[in-house]
Amino acid sequence: SERLFVEMADVMAAEGWRDAGYEFVCIDDCWMAPTRDEHGRLQADPKRFPSGIRKLADYVHSKGLKLGIYSDVGNKTCAGFPGSYNHYDLDAQTFASWGVDLLKFDGCNSGTLELLAEGYRHMSLALNKTGRSIVYSCEWPFYLRPMQQPNYTEIKQYCNHWRNFFDVYDSWSSIKSILDWTALHQSSIVKIAGPGGWNDPDMAILLGIFVFLSQLVIGNFGLSWDQAVTQMAMWAIMAAPLFMSNDLRHISPEAKWLLQNKEVIAINQDPLGKQGYQITKDKNFELWERPLSGQAYAVAVLNQQEIGGPQNFTFSLTFLGNGLACNPACSVWQILPASRDWGVYSWVSSLSVEVNPTGTVLLKV
């Protein structure tokens, strides 16, 4: 209901979320009335959004935030509400007239792959024609992948970010599957990411609300603390757009600290815009790096072991940045699970990192 989104906008403005960089409040599927109006326009459900989307957008904007909305490239949304097929220009104009700032464009009920691609292209052009700056969130490659390899160069021409894999759920197995998929396909997806276009690890909605700063399920119930740290650290490494799928009115201080951690967000939002990648895997340990501006690197050591206690992983600093990250010397700062200065190391040094099961240690080198 509109009340939920008003209350979430209030919390975002009052409790530091907006100031941390989370700026979009986004409505997912099921916001619509079951039919279009007499002019063929989408309309909000009159019971749950009695004031209409324009008024909600005005309220969200008054809090210094932006509003996102959902539609679908096919003739129906994934939940069966009216899709945008044959209405791309009209829907784009409607969203712009309401003051919408982001469109999540799903790919259900799209028919053929040709219609899917044409729909995503058409809506991109239609949004641009409105003259309003609207972030365009696509699911184009996810719906292509079962049949053909996506052309990411083309997708980036039209979309600002795009989902590649299944919905994230509030569980460790879901987070792990996304990380495994990303590592397996990094040769095709890492190189395309950068300012203006991003790989989005997930776009699942657990509570019907997501907040832009991909989808962070931190602050719900399915992840342990170490697993929540892993998700935050690895989404930063992957240069993922950060969406939270949780109820900010009822969130623990620990989850709030993690989601608002300025050092992690700075890595995620690094202006160089390069996506990180896995550089080695040794039994249960994975070593990832992400090039940052200022010749720095973010480094994540992930322990996939699910039983037992903390274990040590030792690696040479010559592994990092093709041997250049620490040449001739470098400072190492731990960011997660707690901030700590590790001091200065030479190029030929090794680091030994203790990592909890399903946990991650995030470093900046």
- The catalytic site residues sit at 106, 167
- Residue 143 three-state SS: helix
Distance CA 154, CA 244 (A): 28
CB neighbourhood size of 283 (10 A): 10
- Residue 280 three-state SS: strand
Q: How far does CA 187 lie from the centroid of its chain? A: 20
CB neighbourhood size of 128 (10 A): 14
271: cis peptide before it, omega within 30°? Answer: no
Tell me the pairing of strands 297-303 and 340-346: unpaired
Q: How far does CA 140 lie from the centroid of its chain? A: 15
Place of tokens 């021409």: 157
Nearest to 292 by CA among 353, 340, 333: 333
User: CB–CB of 68/29 below 8 Å?
Assistant: no
